[in-house]
Amino acid sequence: MNVLSLYDKSGIALMPWAEAGFNCYAYDIQHSQCITKNYGKGSITFTFADLYDFSTLKNIINTHKNKTVFLSAFPPCTDLAVSGAAWFKSKAEKDPNFQQKATDHAIACSWVAEQLNVSYYIENPVSVLSTLWRKPDYSFHPYEYGGYLPINDIHPEYPEYIVPRDAYPKKTCLWTDNGFVMPYKLSVSKDSQYSKQHLKLGGKSERTKNIRSQTPRGFSIAVFKANSAIINAVKTYKQIVSI
């Protein structure tokens, strides 16, 4: 069974699924080539994909139709997040439709999931998606799922920026459907009322954007636990009915 993640550079959202034996696919324009890495019982295939191109989305659907059970997506928030509202006016002067275009890319992710008939979530910070598309179904802070990580946790890639156990606040919104299960929270104490780590990440480099948008590992584990349980239950039920 396949699990997909769109606009996904790190593959963090997929790692719990891969470790449990699912075949996972991370699509993003930042992947220079198609590389498969093994994680536990399964794998993640990191694939170059221009997801702004509608033909790319159709190819993904054709490739994974009837073989996929879950999808996550992290469409770019640069033109949508309210934290960047100071630049909206100048961007609108250059392109009056810049936010609608960004919104359409997010909506396209839900279209892919609907075509595949799978549960899904689309992640964005607090943004104008709430008005240009629809209100989010859920929201959370990373520290609310830090309890899914071990007490001696250290971030494997960016320990100098991302605090252990995702113990930081950052309101994150989710647009979901098709039976997505919002996981149970296991909170840890946050390190501050504000995300101190993001104060260290100024600038507009691709590396900075990637660090700032890192998927919380605790949340990814929680999503897997909640939704894989439902997927396995449905699979078992279908097997019993067919006997």
Q: How far apart are CA 86 and CA 83, in angstroms?
A: 8
Instruction: Write down the pLDDT at residue 176.
Output: 98
Torsion 141-5-136-104 (CA) sign:
positive
Overall fold of domain 2-242: Rossmann fold (3.40.50)
Task: Read off the tokens for 53.
Answer: 């191109």
Instruction: Write down the pLDDT at residue 206.
Output: 75
Which DSSP symbol is given to 185?
P
Instruction: Write down the pLDDT at residue 38.
Output: 96
Instruction: Write down the pLDDT at residue 195.
Output: 59
Phi-psi region of 66 (alpha: psi -120 to 50; beta: other; left: phi over 0): left
Amino acid at 78: T
Q: 229-238: list long-range contacts, CB under 8 Å, 24+ apart.
A: 229/181, 230/119, 230/179, 230/181, 231/1, 231/69, 231/70, 231/119
Instruction: Write down the pLDDT at residue 219.
Output: 98
Domain boundaries, the chain: 2-242
Instruction: Write down the pLDDT at residue 201.
Output: 59
Instruction: Write down the pLDDT at residue 241.
Output: 64
Question: Residue written as tokens 């392109």?
Answer: 95
Q: How many residues does the chain have?
A: 243
Instruction: Write down the pLDDT at residue 112.
Output: 98
pLDDT means per 10 residues, the chain with 243 residues, are: 96 97 97 92 97 98 97 93 86 93 97 98 94 97 97 92 92 96 96 62 68 90 95 71 61
